[in-house]
Amino acid sequence: MEKFEKVTGVVLPLDRSNVDTDSIIPKQFLKSIRRTGFGPNLFDAWRYLDQGEPDRDNSGRPLNPDFVLNDPRYREATILLARDNFGCGSSREHAVWALQDYGFRATIAPSFADIFYNNCFKNGILPIVLDTVVVDKLFGEVDASTGYALKIDLAAQTVATPTGETFEFDVDEFRRHCLLNGLDDISLTLQHADAIRAFEERHRGEAPWLFPNE
Amino acid sequence: MAGKTLYDKIWDAHVVHREPDGTILLYVDRHLLHEVTSAQAFEGLRVAGRSPWRIDTALAVPDHNVPTIDRARGISDPVSRVQVEALDRNCAEFGITEFSMNDIRQGIVHVIGPEQGATLPGMIVVCGDSHTSTHGAFGALAFGIGTSEVEHVLATQCLIQKKSGNMRVSIDGELGPGVTAKDMVLAIIGTIGVAGGTGQTFEFTGDAIRALSMEARMTVCNMSVEGGARAGLIAVDEKTVEYVCGRPLAPRGRLWDRALVAWGDLKSDDDAVFDKTVHIDAATIKPQVTWGTSPELVVPVDAQVPDPADEKDPVKREWMQRALQYMDLRPGVAITDIALDKVFIGSCTNARIEDLRAAAGVVRGRKVARNLKLALVVPGSGLIKQQAEDEGLDRVFKEAGFEWRDAGCSMCLGMNADHLQPGERCASTSNRNFEGRQGQGGRTHLVSPAMAAAAAIAGHFVDVRDLN
């Protein structure tokens, strides 16, 4: 997994609450058996004026000029600013793969849906929860200036605005450690293989019906 | 010390390792798989040269992409076919049990788990699908995971997790006639909001929950995730035990006797402390119809489409306005004046035999309205389809003008050929009315099976309680 230490990037403001993963990556693109290539179909139904299909070249499709992703001011964006309950609905990790493939490294919102939040960490994307008042303020500042960029420092757990104003955020120590070092979860867990086997012994004793084939 | 909640008990019984910050390595007893969220996980195993830790806990089934007609001819969409074939190949390669597309036991993953007895009380059940919460009806801690986590469970039999909060949702009293578990859960989401359970595990309690059948309890737990919670639980009682007994994968003999003793403790202690509690009086719940693009945007069938102008929160007002625009509805329109193009009875929320009986009970002797382009019944599994046919329900539906299909997710999310065209309006027994969920530009109203059946007959929403 790609390390996440410090990211400075242009902010794209997606001013809608309860953005669901069906909207982030519509169902027809879930038929892919790869982890890559979802970026051109990120927010497909909002981004284009026609209907997208998998395995189709997206370069010539008509863009929806009213959708923020198509606003030239945010073309280089790597930080997504969103509203409450971002990523709700389906567990599809394809939503995170699409954000990542497009180029986003972090998302900021007052709250995230639980499964989406987890999926972000597995792919080197940092989801940052900031207070609604702070998020409101950031939406205002993004709107007021072109090229508005934030500096995210995961080690320090801070987000800094262009004027130097700094906001702290919380993140679980374990997740922070994994992201900072780009660690692979499965390798980490397999270091506890003996503990897993010992647990299984105990569990088999307490609930043998869960081990019917042995 | 305070007692434990049901969630605390199941959680504590599965802790393998604890990090200093409280991150837990949690053991998984049952891993359900389907074709959409597993291919990349199996590929990850192959690339890293890893083997599955314990294949006997895994059960796989293709459900999202499968056609609901002419199955003998295979899958005509080449992209869908590749995905289903990838599941077949992966299961064969890694030795995982799969009910393939033409197996009578095939069906929606959350329907077949309980049907086969693969879901047992006290288990931790996971699947790369958010509606895994369904299995919580059995007093099993069940939640959806992403594909990286699917790979993690395959490789280690564990998940890296943080414990959530405990939220009790108590439905007290008795549901009125014609009001179902679906109306109950839609009313809960309407009350607490789509993010009301974020960071929480629900436990559904109260007289009205106890009175529900196991199938109805599954409907309630299924939509926990629509209320923001990854999991929703219901304590084990005699109905749970009766449902599980004799299922193909349920324990037998001495193991059954031992399991029964352990399952007797699968309820929250009387002095357990919940982080949040919500009480809803069951008698106040009416048949529900969603009007917007989130399950939270729901009203009783005898109400009107709400006016965003009455909403004080500007973010929510904007959200409601967008929803009205997408749904092509105006504030003040009576729900019963909304005309429909299609009706879908199916999904992991409402495609079990009781759902089909409820819908057939409304349909019997009537005809689908002429303005409807399609009325579709998609059973939750091949076995449910067979049972319904044995009971003659297929004839009731077909004589009324419904199409009677093979099992799968179908038009709940339209990954197969069953979907809405742009602008079409559908009464659906599924779980999500998000923009484009049933097809790009399609408009979804979530309802109970009886309400969907009644709407199919009338051509618009009607209060099922007004039918004789």
Is residue B309 predicted with pLDDT exceeding 80? yes
Contact A203/B27, CB-based, under 8 Å? yes
Contact B123/A at CB under 8 A = yes
* Neighboring chain A residues of B255 at a CB cutoff of 8 Å: 208-209, 212
pLDDT at B1 (0 to 100): 77
Contact B46/A at CB under 8 A = no
Query: B386-411, pLDDT tens digit by residue?
Result: 999 999 999 999 999 999 999 999 99
Query: B332-371, pLDDT tens digit by residue?
Result: 999 999 999 999 999 999 999 999 999 999 999 999 999 9
Query: B412-441, pLDDT tens digit by residue?
Result: 999 999 999 999 999 999 999 999 999 999
Contact A16/B322, CB-based, under 8 Å? yes
Contact B80/A at CB under 8 A = yes
DSSP classification of residue B302? T
* Neighboring chain B residues of A55 at a CB cutoff of 8 Å: 79
Measured in angstroms, the CA of B40 and the nearest CA of chain A are apart by 6
Contact A185/B at CB under 8 A = yes
Between strands B342-345 and B298-300, the pairing is: unpaired
pLDDT at A211 (0 to 100): 97
Identify the structural domains of chain A with CATH numbers, from first to last. Answer: 6-183 (3.20.19.10)
At B2, the pLDDT band (50, 70, 90 cuts) reads confident
Q: Is B201 helix (H, G, I), strand (E, B) or coil?
A: strand
Q: Is A74 helix (H, G, I), strand (E, B) or coil?
A: helix
pLDDT at B233 (0 to 100): 98
* Neighboring chain A residues of B157 at a CB cutoff of 8 Å: 196, 200
- Residue B165 burial class via C-beta count within 10 angstroms: exposed 0-12, middle 13-18, buried 19 and up: middle
- Is pTM, for the whole model, over 0.95? yes
pLDDT at B192 (0 to 100): 97
CA distance B200 to A208: 30
Contact A16/B43, CB-based, under 8 Å? no
Query: A41-94, pLDDT tens digit by residue?
Result: 999 999 999 999 998 899 999 999 999 999 999 999 999 999 999 999 999 999
Q: Long-range contacts for A153-159 (Cβ within 8 Å, ≥24 apart)?
A: A153/A5, A153/A6, A154/A4, A154/A5, A154/A6, A154/A126, A154/A179, A154/A180, A155/A5, A155/A6, A155/A180, A159/A108, A159/A128, A159/A130
Interface of A with B in 106-125 (CB under 8 A): 111-115, 118-119, 122-123
Of the candidates A15, A18, A51, the beta carbon closest to that of B194 is on A18
Between strands A79-81 and A6-13, the pairing is: parallel
pLDDT in tens, chain A (214 residues): 889 999 999 999 999 999 999 999 999 999 999 999 999 999 999 999 999 999 889 999 999 999 999 999 999 999 999 999 999 999 999 999 999 999 999 999 999 999 999 999 999 999 999 999 999 999 999 999 999 999 999 999 999 999 999 999 999 999 999 999 999 899 999 999 999 999 999 999 999 999 987 6
Of the candidates B20, B21, B40, the beta carbon closest to that of A33 is on B40
Q: What are phi and psi of B369, to 5 degrees?
A: -60, 150
Is residue B61 predicted with pLDDT exceeding 90? yes
Contact A172/B23, CB-based, under 8 Å? yes
Q: Return the residue in B90, B124, B141, B158 with the most chain A beta carbons within 10 A, the one to mutate for interface testing.
A: B158
Measured in angstroms, the CA of A59 and the nearest CA of chain B are apart by 20
With beta carbons less than 8 A apart as the criterion, state whether B217 and B180 touch.
no
Nearest CA in chain B to A198: B16
DSSP string, B426-441: EEESSS---TTTTSTT
Query: B219-277, pLDDT tens digit by residue?
Result: 999 999 999 999 999 999 999 999 999 999 999 999 999 999 999 999 999 999 999 99
* Neighboring chain A residues of B25 at a CB cutoff of 8 Å: 189, 192, 195-196
Nearest CA in chain B to A20: B434
Interface of A with B in 19-78 (CB under 8 A): 20, 22-23, 26-28, 30-35, 45, 51, 54-55
Place of tokens 């990286």: B148
With beta carbons less than 8 A apart as the criterion, state whether B84 and B99 touch.
no
Q: Which helix (H) or strand (E) holds A205?
A: helix A193-206
pLDDT at A214 (0 to 100): 61
* Neighboring chain B residues of A196 at a CB cutoff of 8 Å: 16, 25, 27, 53, 156-158
Contact B298/A at CB under 8 A = no
* Neighboring chain B residues of A139 at a CB cutoff of 8 Å: none
Of the candidates A85, A174, A213, the beta carbon closest to that of B194 is on A85
Measured in angstroms, the CA of A21 and the nearest CA of chain B are apart by 9
Interface of B with A in 351-410 (CB under 8 A): none
Contact A115/B158, CB-based, under 8 Å? no
At B468, the pLDDT band (50, 70, 90 cuts) reads low
Query: B36-52, pLDDT tens digit by residue?
Result: 999 999 999 999 999 99
At B313, the pLDDT band (50, 70, 90 cuts) reads very high
Nearest CA in chain A to B261: A207
